[in-house]
Structure formats: C-alpha cells, structure tokens
Chains A and B, each alone.
Chain A
Amino acid sequence: MYKSLAAAVRDAEARGITLSQLALETEADDQGRPVGEIRDALRRALYVMQGAVKQGLTGTLKSASGLVGGDAEKLVSGPPGPLAGTPFRDILARALAVQEVNAAMGVIVAAPTAGGAGVLPAVLTGLAAANGFDDEKLVDALATAGLIGAVVADRASLSGAEGGCQAETGAAAGMAAGAATEMMGGTPTQTAHAVAIAQQGTLGLVCDPLGGLVELPCVFRNATGAAIALAAIEMAMAGITFAIPADEVIDTMGEIGRDMDVRYRETAGGGLAATPTGRRLARERLVQIKRG
C-alpha cells in the first residue's frame, strides 16, 4: 500500500482514476487476490458498521461501568438545537451510537481502532443516507479510508498508547474526511486537502480515558472527531486548500505522539482521567464492575 498520500494522488490523477480505484488495485496486487475479494471483505465490514449504527441509535445500551450509553438516542428524539434536522446532527448521533455499542461489548469494526470506531461509519453512512448513495459507493469510500489509514500507520501511528487520541479519533477523522470528500465528488487533490484539514484540527489530542476504559471521553471524542471531519469536507469541497501537505501534517502527528508524555497515552495518568471527578468515577465504577 502507499506510504505517501501525495504519491497516491499523483498516480490517481495521472491515470484519471479515483483514489478508491487505486487503493483497491494496489491492495489486490499486494495481497495477490482479485479486487472482487477485497470489495467483498470491505462490504462485510460495511454491513457490520451499518448494524452498529442501527443498534446504537436504539439507546438501550449501557457500558460495563454504566458511565456511557443512551446519548445517541437523545440526538434522535431529544430537544432540537441549531442543527436539528440536518445531516450534521444525524452524523453526531451515529458517531455516539457506534461508540456506545463498542463500550457495551457489541460488534463493531475497528477502523482504524476500536476506540476510534465511530467516526468513519457515522460520516460515511450519514452522508450516504442524506444523499441517497448505495452500498457500492460506500465500499469505494472504505477503500479510500483504508488507503489514508495505511499512510498514517506507516508514517505516524494508529495507537493511542503510542500517539494519543490524535492517532485514533484524529486519524479516523482524517480517513473519514478524505473518503467522504471523494464520495461527494471531490478530486484526489481535494481529498488530500480534506485529510490535512481534519488531521491538523486534532493535532496534540491526548488519550486520557477514565480508568483506562474505552468509554469516557472516547464516546464524545468520536462525535467531535466526526464534526471535525465534516468541517474539513465542507472546506475542501469549497475549493479551500491547506498549505501544509497531508503527508507532512501526518508526520507532525507522529512527531507530537513520540514527544507526548506517557500520562497522555492511554495510561489514565493524566488529562481528564486524572481530574478529581475522573479519578472518583473510575474508582467507583471499577469497584462496581468487580461486584457485577
């Protein structure tokens, strides 16, 4: 797979194909498998994502600690805000939904990780619902997202323990922004700008879950990650460009991750996890799980 988004954009534009076509061909070549098999595997992942969105929106789930669950449904039937009735609100609900399913030990697709699993399905299925796109278009989008994620994995990291939340929900926002920009008709160049804009908006984001559990703030980080992705898509589609190339923004994320203190890398030693309330909740809820 590609190690540089710039190289992928150059090859796709030289051949007059989309990044998703390029990603599928490259993967098929790498694995020695036909493109159809790669599409089938991505389609299976898509069905799981769609199932998780649906399950999470019912609002009946609770996590092991009881700290999260039921918030996705509030965006469905709760009081309206300024975004009521827009795809934006629907996408926030979907992001919370998938991450609530994850926290309740439901079945999800780690894309790129379980902790960041809400962003990509929320943005892609939400925009598909709003625009009437079919599943095959979503399979294409997952291929593009996979290409972007592979570049991030190669140049930086996709692990909160290594790079903080910028490497999980941040990377997921970049993947979702790029994949959706192509799905909405953007060019490969616009796709790369969307990745850069989304990823720059999450630089420095720490991984600070209460008690070390993938619950709080992870569920909310997925919703705000989706919001950043939407902002990036809107700007890139409007023709706005970002001066620092996506590859260099991704390199910067890796550099910040390497310099990040261990307290901010999934250890519950700093950030929200170390606040007085964070510590109290973790103590109380972890005792509850043991009794459970």
Chain B
Amino acid sequence: MVSLLDIIGPVMVGPSSSHTAGACRLGLLARGLVGGTPERAKVELHGSFARTGEGHGTDKAIVAGLMGFRPDDDRIRSALEIAEHEGLGYTFEKTTLDEEAHPNTVRITLERGDRSAVMMGSSLGAGRVVVTQIDGFPVEVSGNYHTIVLVAEDVPGSIARIATVLAEDGLNIATLRLTRKKKGGDAFMVIELDQYPDERVRDHIRSLPWVRWAFRLDKVSA
C-alpha cells in the first residue's frame, strides 16, 4: 500500500534517494548487526554504487549510517572526517559482487570488539532498501520494522520458545517468516517486531542451545 508520507518524503540529505538516503539506511542496518559503531569496516561497492557513488556521496552516506546517523542528518556531508574522530577505520573497494546483483548493491564487512558480521544489501529507489545476505545466509530484510534474524536447529517448539522470549519483553511480532532447506535441517527465521528489541533480547535468543546465530537489525524507514 502506497502511503502519502512515502510520496512526500523522506526528508533527506541529497542528492539521490537511492545513492544517498538508501545507502545511509544500508549503513544503519549493518551497524545493528554488531550492536554499535564498528571499529573497522570494509565496504565493497557494486554496479552503479561503484560507478557514480562518489558523486552522490554514497561513501559518506554509508559511513554515516555505520555511525548511526539517519538519512536526514546533515553530518552526512562530513561523515568521513567524523569517522576518523570516532575511531571508525574504513576502506572502500569497487567490485563486481555478482552478475545478477541489483545495480545498487554493497557488501559491508564489520568488526566491533569480539563481534563481526558481513552484510549484503541493495538500494531499490526512493530510499527503499533490502538486505539480501547476512554472513552468507540469504535473507530479505526491508528495515521497515525492527527485525531479528536467526538460524536454529530444526527442533520442535522452537518457534513457541522464541515467541515467549519476545513476549516476555513486551515485544509484539508483526510478521514471521520461517524457511528451511530440508527436513531436520537448519531453520531460518526472520521476525519483524512492532517494538525495539534491545541487545539483551538478542543475547537471550543467542543463549538458547539450539540457536546457531542471531542478529538484530534496526528499523530504518521513516
């Protein structure tokens, strides 16, 4: 459903809703995977991001997102200088990730303390984005909600247990997608939430013995 506020918005730093606002949102989503501003980030730009990214401030917008700045934050313009003060070391590479990948795609490899993550995502136009891969697992996360993604052994009652963990924290599930490659194989869950899950919730889910990994991504849409 198209909303008035999608048409009259977003409020953003120019010049491009896909190459600037969308790039910033991808940075914000990646930041969530390591729970804060990373110490090191390797950013690989693909397609149009690689070809016209510099002129559109795509590099600044991604680094700004990694530091938690939103698309309307005018610190995006000086994000690269701010990153040096914040202790965020970054490198940019232009590459071809995959012939099939969307023209505006980025892969970001992050380290923060003992945490690390690799995220791939695309900017679809008008500021809309999608995360397509986390640590090599194919996912589909829009950032329209606070999201938890996890991989778990396919054991009975796993969904009920996770729903209980979330409910105990007063978190309401908006959508839940469950997929598995084969019977008894790993189950992959994408859970979109109406409220903000803090790091404690992620840690709790991670501590369940049959959960292999779990990540939290913040809502990035307006």
Contacts and interface: CB of A to CB of B under 8 A. Distances in A.
Contacts of A143: 4
A101 B9 CA distance: 16
Contacts of B57: 64, 105
A213 B55 contact: yes
Nearest to A111: B8
A1 B2 contact: yes
A141 to B, nearest CB: 10
Contacts of A27: 3-5
Interface stretch (A155-163, A185-193, A240-248): A155-163
A110 B56 contact: no
A214 B14 contact: yes
Contact of A110 (B21, B60, B103): B21
A145 B8 contact: yes
A286 B18 CA distance: 19
Interface stretch (A40-48, A72-80, A196-204, A223-231): A40-48
Contacts of A286: 54-55
B16 A214 contact: yes
Chain A's interface: helix, strand, loop or mixed, by majority? helix
Contacts of A146: 4-5, 7-8
A117 B18 CA distance: 14
Interface string B82-107: 00000000000000000000010000
A162 B4 contact: no
A158 B7 CA distance: 9
Contacts of B17: 110, 113-115
Nearest to B77: A105
B14 A101 contact: yes
Q: Which of B5, B20, B77, B125 has the most CB of A within 10 A?
A: B5
Contact of B54 (A1, A215, A289): A289
B207 interface: no
A92 interface: no
Interface in A92-131: 101-115, 117
A256 interface: no
A38 B8 CA distance: 11
B1 interface: yes
B126 interface: yes
Contact of A115 (B10, B13, B16, B77): B16
How many A residues touch the partner, as a band?
35 or more
Contacts of B14: 101-108, 114, 117, 214
A288 B48 CA distance: 18
A63 B16 CA distance: 13
A109 B12 CA distance: 6
A175 B27 CA distance: 32
Nearest to A158: B126
B112 to A, nearest CB: 27
Q: Which of B8, B12, B20, B54 has the most CB of A within 10 A?
A: B8
Q: Which of A27, A102, A105 has the most CB of B within 10 A?
A: A105
Q: Which of A42, A147, A162, A212 has the most CB of B within 10 A?
A: A212
A107 B12 contact: yes
B88 to A, nearest CB: 20
B16 to A, nearest CB: 5
Interface in B31-52: 48, 51-52
Given A103-B14, A110-B12, A110-B21, A64 B55 contact: yes
A30 B7 contact: no
Given A106-B14, A107-B72, A115-B16, A150 B2 contact: yes
A1 B3 contact: yes
Nearest to B57: A105
A112 B9 CA distance: 7
Contacts of A150: 2-4, 6-7
Interface string B59-88: 010000000000010101100000000000
Interface of A: 1, 23, 27, 30-31, 38, 41-42, 44-45, 48, 63-65, 101-115, 117, 142-143, 145-147, 149-150, 153-154, 158-159, 161-162, 175, 211-215, 268, 285-286, 289-290
List the 4 closest pairs (A to B, CB-CB), nearest first.
Answer: A102-B14, A146-B4, A149-B7, A212-B52
29 contacts: A1-B4, A42-B5, A48-B11, A48-B72, A64-B56, A64-B57, A103-B15, A104-B14, A105-B60, A108-B14, A109-B9, A110-B11, A112-B126, A114-B14, A115-B16, A142-B8, A143-B4, A145-B7, A146-B5, A154-B2, A159-B126, A161-B125, A162-B125, A211-B52, A211-B55, A212-B51, A212-B55, A214-B56, A290-B54
